[in-house]
Amino acid sequence: MAFNNNKATIAFAFPFPNIPIAVQLVNSIYDPIDLLGVDFGYAIVVMTEEEKAKFMKMDVDGWKG
């Protein structure tokens, strides 16, 4: 995430392309930021293999830590 000149820019990293709920997740962040009057930009990217491994481990571990 980056914030400057009244603009928040966020990268959403998903483990796989074409996640069906990607738009809903982006909007869940966009809506409260928009209410603050802040411009919002975003990018959707696919996680690296290392990020995917960590993400999947968190899933197996029950999202702890």
pLDDT digits (tens, 9 = 90+) for 1-32: 777 888 999 999 999 999 999 999 999 999 99
Instruction: Tell whether 39 is covered by a domain.
Output: yes
Instruction: Tell whether 65 is covered by a domain.
Output: no
Q: What is the pLDDT of residue 25?
A: 93
pTM over 0.85: no
Q: What values do phi and psi take at 21, rounded to 5?
A: -100, 15
Instruction: Tell whether 49 is covered by a domain.
Output: yes
Q: What is the pLDDT of residue 20?
A: 92
pLDDT digits (tens, 9 = 90+) for 42-51: 999 999 999 9
pLDDT at residue 65 tops 80:
no
> How many structural domains compose the chain?
1
